[in-house]
Amino acid sequence: MDRAILHLDIPAFPIAVERVVEPRLRGRPVVVVPSSSTRAPVLVSSLEARAAGVFRGMPLARAVRICRDLTVLPPNPPLYRRASGAILKILAGYSPLLEPAGGGHIFLDMTGTRRLFGEAADSADRIHREVLRRLRLASTLGVASNKLVSRVAARVIRPERLYDVFPGSEAPFLAPLGVDLLPAVDPLSREVLSEVNVVRVKDLAALALPHLRILLGKRAWRLFREARGIDESPVRPPDAAPVVREEETLAEDSNEEAVHREALDRLAVRGAAQLREMGREAARISVRVRYADGVEAEAAERPVRPTASEFALREMVERLFEKARERRIRIRHLEVALSDLRETPRQLSLFEVRRREDLEAVLAKIRDRYGMEAVGSKRRKGPEAKPMRSPQRPGGAGRRIG
């Protein structure tokens, strides 16, 4: 039986959600920027902003010069999490096999549901209308026999709402598209491929595997399969047990230590805040790194005792990041997961622990009132962080994603 995989994509997801809350933002050029600094990079730009020449990664000062009527918004992760939860609740009515992929991207496995809902394309059309009616969020959906092709299909059909790639036609569908649409093609690979005039997927598919290995090293096998529309990765549902998960996509793929550390600090602080609200402590902490080529690597550890301490989480997250970072490829996405949650003990026996938790409570109040950036971490002075040079050919270990 051919698989039926849906990929739901809400373009510029944070901005789409903000426009539901504030309708006056509709039709206006809008960007989401992490801080008010003129050097802060654009995280997300609306269609109107992109039409004016404002794109992801552009410094805020330049974006404002290009587009004078630009509306600048700070990130609102709690709002985005609520919106994602509402979408997942709707999709759960169609299949229990769904995988949130972050940023308004969700995979849904509809294999075997034909008797209940009809063809997968019909289900996709109903999902689009239901999400639009109930949440006022416009989406595009790709339907295919695997995650790779459904993801690409949902991306290339904008502003249309649905594209159904029939089983067996995956390679012909991908052939005329640019190689940039394949998840395994990062900037370094694109540069190498452009030097040999490989700009379309059909050009990539025409290369023999030995030739690809000469050009791209260890990543050749994955690109060889992607160019032919082959992807056997399953749809992975989220953990059933409660997990505090904080993630951040960097404004630009980066190997700069300072950029990584600042992002990890933000994730640890937000995770600790969620644990305090829940009255829980985490007995397992993990850090996941996603590289620019889509490959992932993860490291996990159990603390001596379950913790919700912001200071302890910062230390562990930094240590796990060093374990997970196994390659010299630029990093695109960071995720911190706090799991195996336990109830926070009511009584504390150590004065030092009480003093530290009192301090964290004060810091939390300051951030609640003045924002997440009101209090930062002061690091020990050391040698200036320098960007790591990427090798001529990509490679290394990590978990591949579709």
The model's pLDDT over 67-125, given as tens digits with 9 standing for 90+, comes to 999 999 998 988 998 999 999 999 999 998 999 888 889 999 999 888 888 899 999 99
Q: How far apart are CA 152 and CA 182, in angstroms?
A: 8
Q: Which amino acid does the sequence have at 358?
A: D
Within 8 A by CB and 6+ apart from 63, the residues are: 31, 42, 45, 49, 54, 70
Q: What is the pLDDT averaged over residues 134-141?
A: 94
Q: What is the pTM of this model?
A: 0.65
The dihedral over CA atoms of 166, 167, 173, 175, expressed in degrees to the nearest 10, equals -170
Angstrom distance (rounded) from CA 294 to CA 184: 6
CATH number of 1-166: 3.20.20.140, 3.40.50.150, 3.30.70.270, 1.20.120.1200?
3.30.70.270
Domain with CATH 3.30.1490.100 in the chain: 244-374
The whole-number average pLDDT for the span 211-234 is: 90
pLDDT in tens, 155-203: 888 777 899 999 999 999 999 999 989 988 877 888 889 999 999 999 9
- pLDDT-derived band at 342 (thresholds 50, 70, 90) equals confident
State the alpha helices, DSSP H only, in 239-303: 257-278
Given pLDDT bands bounded at 50, 70 and 90, which one contains residue 400? very low
Cβ neighbours, 10 Å, residue 382: 7
Residue 243 near residue 204 (C-beta atoms within 8 A): no
Given a cut of 70, is residue 386 above it in pLDDT?
Answer: no
Q: What is the mean pLDDT of residues 325-335?
A: 88
CATH architecture of 244-374: 2-Layer Sandwich (3.30)
- Phi, psi (degrees; rounded to nearest 5) at 142: -110, 140
Segments of the chain assigned to CATH 3.30.70.270: 1-166
Whole-angstrom distance, CA of residue 73 vs CA of residue 35:
9
Q: Where in the chain is the domain with CATH 1.10.150.20?
A: 168-238
Domain boundaries 168-238, corresponding CATH code: 1.10.150.20
